[in-house]
Amino acid sequence: MSGVNAWLATAVAWMGLVSSAIIGFLAYSLNRQAQRWQTQQSMDGLYSKLMDYRSAHPQVMPLSRQWEPRCFETLYHPETEEDKRWVLYYTYAEMCISFCNAVLSARRSRLVNRHAYEGQYKPLIKLLLTEHAPLIADLLHSGKYISAYMKEFYQELEREGWNWAKMHAELARSGFERPAA
């Protein structure tokens, strides 16, 4: 009889172990799903703020074409109305950078699935960084004030053949190119 009890105790222990593992896996999966949803909401919120800002300050887009390293000086000492425009532009650019970093961080943490990243976020990040290519190039050149995520993304696209300066000039000059019919 003690052999049966030992076998029964072992079976119960294994069932407890398996059920604990299943419950743990389910809890992990639900937590991960909640993290993905929260990340998606956060990225959507950042993008909405970005669009609201750009709608309220339409002058920021033309300024992206005129960025030069000297513009940093005006950010810290805005004396004229033109200097203040650079503050508005830089605020918008920082919002774009923040959005891009949030998405790239979520990608690295696997909180954005590959399909959503490739289909929605990668083209959007490419557009935002292309719009601000002169500023991003300055930040990359110094290497001090840009995230590893942005550096990696920038270099990844360059390896794929993306020419940031050329594409910025095309975007700023004529808007989106239309595919040949």
* Nearest 10 degrees: Cα torsion 58, 62, 64, 70: -110
* Extents of the domains making up the chain: 36-174
Pull the structure tokens for residue 85: 């425009």
Section 65-93 average pLDDT:
89
178 or 80, which is more confident: 80
pLDDT digits (tens, 9 = 90+) for 9-59: 888 888 888 888 788 877 777 777 777 778 888 888 999 999 999 999 998
With cut-offs at 50, 70 and 90, classify the pLDDT of residue 175.
low
CA neighbours closer than 13 Å in the CB half-sphere of residue 68: 4
Mean pLDDT value across the chain = 87
Section 103-117 average pLDDT:
92
DSSP-derived secondary structure for 29-95: HHHHHHHHHHHHHHHHHHHHHHHHHHHH-TTHHHHHTT--TTHHHHHHS--SHHHHHHHHHHHHHHH
Predicted TM-score (pTM) of the model is 0.79
With cut-offs at 50, 70 and 90, classify the pLDDT of residue 89.
very high
pLDDT attached to residue 180? 54
